[in-house]
Amino acid sequence: MKIRNRFLALAALLGASTLALSGCVIPFGGGDDQPNDDQNTTQNDDSQTDDTDDNGGDGPDVSTFELADTEWTGTVDGDEVELLFNSDGTIDFIDYGGGGPIDHPNDTWSVDGTQVTMSLAFEDGSGNETIIDLTGELNEESLELSGSGMSASLTRM
């Protein structure tokens, strides 16, 4: 009798587990309720041109502006700087705060759409490194970046 009760308990447990897990299955396609057919997709018409710039018609068109290999001057957190945005995504400080050049491999830059991010590495006296990200809108004449309590104001040379 004990074996039969154990068998029934095991069968009930397996049945309950199967029912519980069947609600967790996501159908292929990510669970999208709409079928993927031509009515739900759009096609790009290459014959039409867009005469507006990336700034919604306000200001210069930055979609063709390349930040790589450009030199800038201004301030980073109040210190006078002159820097170069290298084509490999790194930043070379030609001068930082009057202390001469700084070339740290973790000083980097990137552009995502019209958003510029400068990641700057700062080391304390004990060798610890902190990366600060400054972000702002891409502009081919000047950059106003901020983040983590710091700011940068740069003008293209």
pLDDT at 2 over 60: no
pLDDT of residue 101: 96
pLDDT at 24 over 70: no
pLDDT of residue 7: 55
Question: d(Cα 147, Cα 134) in Å, to the nearest integer?
Answer: 5
- 75 or 8, greater pLDDT: 75
**The CA-based dihedral angle spanning residues 23, 27, 32, 35, taken in that order and rounded to the nearest 10 degrees:** -130
The model's pLDDT over 48-106, given as tens digits with 9 standing for 90+, comes to: 444 444 444 454 455 567 999 999 999 999 999 999 999 999 999 999 999 999 999 99
pLDDT of residue 8: 58
Contact 150, 134 (CB under 8 A): yes
The model's pLDDT over 99-142, given as tens digits with 9 standing for 90+, comes to: 999 999 999 999 999 999 999 999 888 989 999 999 999 999 99
Residue 79 CA, distance from chain mean position = 26
Of 17-21, 68-72, 146-150, where does mean pLDDT reach its minimum?
Answer: 17-21
pLDDT of residue 42: 43
Question: d(Cα 147, Cα 119) in Å, to the nearest integer?
Answer: 10
Point out which residues pair with 20 in neighbouring strands.
Answer: none
